[in-house]
Chains A and B, each alone.
Chain A
């Protein structure tokens, strides 16, 4: 597809001074050709489709949309969150796309702005909360549910009682994941602690690997990550410790170290929403699906995971799917040991969406 690489300029602009970036803005475009089915769906990605992580999984969803429904689904990759995004979204809207998925949090304001100009086009924004006009939907996955499952595995399998966690940016989504992981781990292993290293990037294989090394050097024997590349798993394999994959099945990179990966599964949602547009039943909704709906799924367990641990992890998966378990069931203490909620209580979605504190068992200060 010609559109694949046309936006490379925008990739580069992230790495260059703003002055140079300004020179380069004008060039992105998508090639568009009509298709028998008539409907065109557009995707805008924050990273390259070859990242083997976040964007890769969105693109798998886009591909199954094409193969299942025969619609033409074009994409623009590596679009920085900011002024460029607005231009790309507008371009998709003017070039005949009837449904546009904007797949990163930072596209929130541009999506809503462009949506007001194109009332006939439906917009779906991933991981955001603003729906300023009735042609905007938001959708996200309850990844924290997946993190409760891998936290359970970590609790069973850590020997040192120290688990390393590579985090990207201190936003509620990431903090929620750390907390969910920690709570589940300490249900199994109350003495275990989580050490967090913030790398302040979603995607830098070298730095992610270095963070893993630092954590392992400081005693962590399991590595979890909220960044996108498989570099940390390779380090874990090399050092003989365990690790979890992120966003897609990363077992290939660490055949011995890989315990399981949380897999982002957007396919069913994309197909359902495209069908709704074709059938005229599309409406603005806010979707936050998890393990039950299959939006959060898992790769097969690694060989290192013993049967009893698999059973424990499966029980958590089933409990979350059925609603009998919630990762944020009380009693729940914050990092300082003060009770947030008591036994029998449960944090609501509002509390989860704005989460800005560590729970007990996480070491280090939360960057403010």
Chain B
């Protein structure tokens, strides 16, 4: 049993990691009061750019950096449109996704069929020798470790730092924040760029580690799942992380259940990750007061200092 359990848990971790990145990034943008529906497009741009960079330079770090920059670059376009030009966030975000799907396909035309062996695993000395825990927690690629770190950092940033408080203030009442003297627009720019960079890494994870290849539209809707996770986790980092793992976990376990021959219709199995994630997150987050406390009150509303 253990010999199945360990690889299954490792697969769950790799399936959940891109969701963690994309959802945490989006959460920060939303906490600042901006709804960016372009996650899918930013992820795809991250995936294709990261893949190009890594196959050209064979440097994993450059690949990850390129993915990050591509995601951030896409989000910058979004930021200019919604913050600078006061465009509607929902429509602009959708446009960004559509643009990202198309542009990544165009850029990646010559890459279809190019093979890459995947970014290497970093075994942490000594720790990876611990039976059971070792292979599960300490034999991953750098992006998996990074996703653990970033979850803790984001959580700490929002709860414990002054900057995090300011970010939340901007998201809750941009007029009040502006009146006190905070640069609402600049803070939102940074939050959007952070979200873009994280979506870029999530995409890079897909094309560099998860299934190391480039094919059009390879994110297959994960950006939308990340968006949904943020809402169902009521904008709380730990729950976003938990939700991503719940979704990834059930996705993988249902595949294992099928491979073992469990007599449940596969359509029900495929539905299960969505259903369970929504139900669990809604149940644990059903406290209306806390939802109100955590959800950014100004989300989606354009802001102009003169208004």
Cβ–Cβ contact A234 & B255, under 8 A: no
Nearest chain A CB to B263's CB is how many angstroms away? 5
- Chain B contacts for A273, CB-based, 8 A: none
- Choose, from A123-131, A144-152, A203-211, the stretch at the interface: A203-211
B 88-124 contacts with A by CB, 8 A = 94, 97-98, 101-102, 105-106, 108-109, 112-115, 118
Please measure, in the bound complex, the distance between the C-alpha atom of A359 and the C-alpha atom of B11, giving whole angstroms. Answer: 31
Count contacts between A and B, CB distance < 8 Å: 151
- We find that the number of chain B residues with CB closer than 8 angstroms to chain A is 50
Please measure, in the bound complex, the distance between the C-alpha atom of A4 and the C-alpha atom of B101, giving whole angstroms. Answer: 12
Cβ–Cβ contact A205 & B218, under 8 A: yes
Instruction: Annotate A193-230 by CB proximity to B: 1 below 8 A, 0 otherwise.
Output: 00111111101111111110111011010000000011
B 11-47 contacts with A by CB, 8 A = 11, 15, 18, 40
Contact of B222 among A203, A206, A217 (CB under 8 A): A206
Contact of B266 among A200, A214, A231 (CB under 8 A): A200
Asked whether any CB of chain B lies closer than 8 Å to the CB of A170, the reply is yes
Cβ–Cβ contact A215 & B98, under 8 A: no
Cβ–Cβ contact A252 & B15, under 8 A: no
Please measure, in the bound complex, the distance between the C-alpha atom of A212 and the C-alpha atom of B263, giving whole angstroms. Answer: 19
Asked whether any CB of chain A lies closer than 8 Å to the CB of B206, the reply is yes
Cβ–Cβ contact B112 & A52, under 8 A: yes
Asked whether any CB of chain B lies closer than 8 Å to the CB of A78, the reply is yes
Cβ–Cβ contact B211 & A252, under 8 A: no
Cβ–Cβ contact A367 & B224, under 8 A: no
Nearest chain B CB to A273's CB is how many angstroms away? 27
- Chain A contacts for B288, CB-based, 8 A: none
Asked whether any CB of chain B lies closer than 8 Å to the CB of A16, the reply is yes
Please measure, in the bound complex, the distance between the C-alpha atom of A52 and the C-alpha atom of B115, giving whole angstroms. Answer: 12
Cβ–Cβ contact B259 & A164, under 8 A: yes
Cβ–Cβ contact A15 & B15, under 8 A: no
Contact of B11 among A11, A51, A213, A363 (CB under 8 A): A213
Q: A5-B102, A170-B266, A200-B266 are in contact. Are A205 and B213 (CB under 8 A)?
A: yes
A 277-310 contacts with B by CB, 8 A = none
Asked whether any CB of chain B lies closer than 8 Å to the CB of A9, the reply is yes
Cβ–Cβ contact A234 & B252, under 8 A: no
Asked whether any CB of chain A lies closer than 8 Å to the CB of B212, the reply is yes
Closest to A214 in B: B255
Asked whether any CB of chain B lies closer than 8 Å to the CB of A240, the reply is no
Contact of A367 among B114, B215, B266 (CB under 8 A): B266
- Chain B contacts for A368, CB-based, 8 A: 265
- Chain A contacts for B98, CB-based, 8 A: 8-9, 12, 24
Nearest chain A CB to B110's CB is how many angstroms away? 10
Cβ–Cβ contact B113 & A48, under 8 A: no
Asked whether any CB of chain B lies closer than 8 Å to the CB of A238, the reply is yes
Asked whether any CB of chain B lies closer than 8 Å to the CB of A357, the reply is no
Nearest chain B CB to A342's CB is how many angstroms away? 28
Asked whether any CB of chain B lies closer than 8 Å to the CB of A253, the reply is yes
A 14-37 contacts with B by CB, 8 A = 14-16, 20, 24
- Chain A contacts for B216, CB-based, 8 A: 48-51
Asked whether any CB of chain B lies closer than 8 Å to the CB of A364, the reply is yes
Q: A52-B112, A210-B251, A230-B213 are in contact. Are A364 and B11 (CB under 8 A)?
A: no
Asked whether any CB of chain B lies closer than 8 Å to the CB of A338, the reply is no
Nearest chain A CB to B18's CB is how many angstroms away? 8
Please measure, in the bound complex, the distance between the C-alpha atom of A364 and the C-alpha atom of B264, giving whole angstroms. Answer: 9
Please measure, in the bound complex, the distance between the C-alpha atom of A205 and the C-alpha atom of B220, giving whole angstroms. Answer: 8
Asked whether any CB of chain A lies closer than 8 Å to the CB of B161, the reply is no
Can you sample 26 A-B contacts with CB below 8 Å? A5-B102, A5-B106, A8-B101, A15-B224, A24-B98, A50-B109, A52-B112, A197-B255, A198-B266, A199-B270, A203-B217, A204-B221, A205-B210, A205-B211, A205-B213, A214-B11, A214-B255, A217-B11, A217-B256, A220-B259, A252-B114, A252-B115, A253-B115, A364-B258, A367-B266, A368-B265
Q: Which 10 A-B pairs have CB atoms at the shortest separation, nearest pair first?
A: A198-B266, A48-B216, A214-B255, A50-B216, A204-B220, A200-B270, A231-B211, A205-B211, A364-B261, A8-B102
